[in-house]
Amino acid sequence: MESLDKLINELSRLPAVGKKTAQRYAYFLLGEPLEEVKEFALSIVEAKQKIHYCKICANFTDKEICDICAKPNKAPIICVVKEPKDVTALEKVRDFNGSYHVLHGVINPLENKGPNDINIRSLLTRVNEEKIEEVIVATNPDVEGEATAIYIANLLKPLGVKVTRLAQGVSMGSELEYTDALTLSKALSSRREM
Amino acid sequence: MESLDKLINELSRLPAVGKKTAQRYAYFLLGEPLEEVKEFALSIVEAKQKIHYCKICANFTDKEICDICAKPNKAPIICVVKEPKDVTALEKVRDFNGSYHVLHGVINPLENKGPNDINIRSLLTRVNEEKIEEVIVATNPDVEGEATAIYIANLLKPLGVKVTRLAQGVSMGSELEYTDALTLSKALSSRREM
């Protein structure tokens, strides 16, 4: 069945979805009433049509400027993240009152992604215009995230802004026995007095 | 963002998809070009509109009668399964030349599903009209699958047709140490001479 094969192909484009899961999703959808399936498909197209990047921070929004950027009395701090989902994760913490800047990627030479392929340039303008005092580079603590953080720090330091990085160490609730050596080494060298 | 929340809600209706996975799928779709997202949504609606139940076996098909039922010179054997995906699994074996009958569920008193809520009645007609010699009841080897198999066997036996059940025993490649007691007990009582 051509239309079923096509549906399974499309569904297996979703992240971490293989043929088997895609087939499971497809059979589920075929078993639902037509009206609900139409609603399902419509919600996808509608979200895509309504949601775009915030003009300031490049996070997803359905307005011109996202809710976070539009908030008054924000702290003059920008938290730089790789992806919109990182903003969602950080917003759950609730004790950050600054704004965000979404890079939509990190520098990755293996994937041919250079500094111009991610949303860095407008960060410089923002630091000047919004009188930012601190930029927290919250890219992931992996090779590409670290490289991107160093690149951004080097760009920003001449502007006189403080550039910081999330602390690295052992996770809360984790067990030392199962913590990898690199994390332990970082936690040791950043140890603090009690 | 209402449209994003709605999309995440819809996506989390997929089987075994929670809020977090749904959010991941949503962000992936928002990051894709509009044309491809439209294609994705269209494939869902198109499959749903074109695919329906085969008039004979109730498996999914985009024709009036599915490819398996339309094959000439089939063995006079019907294999009864719970869901369309079971047909896909069995067809991979390639040494069954009969046809299928999809119940679209099993008898499950806890979910208020009785014999009339699944596709059993047309099985009786088929056994008579297609001069079927054997019915293999391949419902799952769990409580509901077993109960449904017994119900079907009792219905069919008066028609003089042979009713069989898939053999139960240890899986190929499995280790006895990790096989559950019920499976071991079934495997023991159905042991065969070498």
B42 plus B82 within the same structural domain: no
B42 plus B102 within the same structural domain: no
A77 plus A110 within the same structural domain: yes
Is B101 exposed, middle or buried (CB count within 10 Å of its CB: 0-12, 13-18, 19+)?
buried
Span B148-172, average pLDDT: 90
Examine residue A173 and state whether it is found in any structural domain, yes or no: no
3-class DSSP state of A163? strand
Q: What angle do CA B115, B117, B119 make, to 5 degrees?
A: 80
**pLDDT bracket for residue A188 (50, 70, 90):** confident
**Range of B36's domain?**
2-50
CB-CB: which of B27, B29, B62 is closest to A3?
B62
Does pLDDT of B5 surpass 90?
yes
**pLDDT bracket for residue B167 (50, 70, 90):** confident
A83 plus A33 within the same structural domain: no
- CA–CA gap between residue A192 and residue A183 (Å, rounded): 15
Examine residue B39 and state whether it is found in any structural domain, yes or no: yes
CB-CB: which of A1, A50, A104 is closest to B62?
A1
Q: Which of B28, B43, B59 to mutate to test the interface with A (most CBs of A within 10 A)?
A: B43
- Which residues of A fall within a CB distance of 8 Å from B44? 7, 10, 29, 37, 40-41
Does pLDDT of B26 surpass 90?
yes
Does pLDDT of A176 surpass 80?
no
State the total domains in chain B: 2
A88 plus A125 within the same structural domain: yes
For residue B192, the distance in angstroms to the closest alpha carbon of chain A comes to 34
Examine residue A61 and state whether it is found in any structural domain, yes or no: no
Residue with tokens 């928002």: B30
B91 plus B150 within the same structural domain: yes
**pLDDT bracket for residue A128 (50, 70, 90):** very high
Span B87-103, average pLDDT: 88
- CA–CA gap between residue B189 and residue B171 (Å, rounded): 15
Is B78 exposed, middle or buried (CB count within 10 Å of its CB: 0-12, 13-18, 19+)?
buried
Does pLDDT of A192 surpass 80?
no
pLDDT at A91: 87
A110 plus A25 within the same structural domain: no
Q: Cβ contact (<8 Å) for B46 and A3?
A: yes
For the range B85-89, what are the long-range contacts, defined as Cβ-Cβ under 8 Å and sequence gap of 24 or more?
A: B85/A23, B85/A24, B85/A27, B86/B138, B87/B59, B88/A23
Examine residue B114 and state whether it is found in any structural domain, yes or no: yes
Share of chain A above pLDDT 70, in %: 100
Does pLDDT of B30 surpass 90?
yes
Examine residue A150 and state whether it is found in any structural domain, yes or no: yes
pLDDT at B135: 94
ipTM here: 0.80
Span A132-156, average pLDDT: 92
B17 plus B75 within the same structural domain: no
Does pLDDT of B188 surpass 90?
no
**Antiparallel, parallel or unpaired: β A60-61 and A52-53:** antiparallel
A80 plus A45 within the same structural domain: no
Does pLDDT of B94 surpass 90?
no
Q: Cβ contact (<8 Å) for A4 and B47?
A: yes
pLDDT at B42: 96
A77 plus A35 within the same structural domain: no
Q: Residue B38: closest CA among chain A residues belongs to which residue?
A: A45
Q: Cβ contact (<8 Å) for A4 and B62?
A: yes
pLDDT at A187: 78
Does pLDDT of A166 surpass 90?
no
For residue A43, the distance in angstroms to the closest alpha carbon of chain B comes to 5
pLDDT at B14: 96
A159 plus A111 within the same structural domain: yes
**pLDDT bracket for residue B49 (50, 70, 90):** very high
Q: Each residue of A14-31: pLDDT tens digit?
A: 999 999 999 999 999 999
The domain that holds B12 is classified in CATH as: 1.10.8.420
* Average pLDDT of chain A to the nearest whole number: 91
Examine residue A101 and state whether it is found in any structural domain, yes or no: yes
**pLDDT bracket for residue A179 (50, 70, 90):** confident
Q: Cβ contact (<8 Å) for B62 and A28?
A: no
Q: Residue B3: closest CA among chain A residues belongs to which residue?
A: A47
Examine residue B23 and state whether it is found in any structural domain, yes or no: yes
B142 plus B94 within the same structural domain: yes
The domain that holds A81 is classified in CATH as: 3.40.1360.10
Does pLDDT of A143 surpass 80?
yes
- Higher model confidence: residue A72 or residue A186? A72
Examine residue A135 and state whether it is found in any structural domain, yes or no: yes
Share of chain B above pLDDT 90, in %: 72
**pLDDT bracket for residue A36 (50, 70, 90):** very high
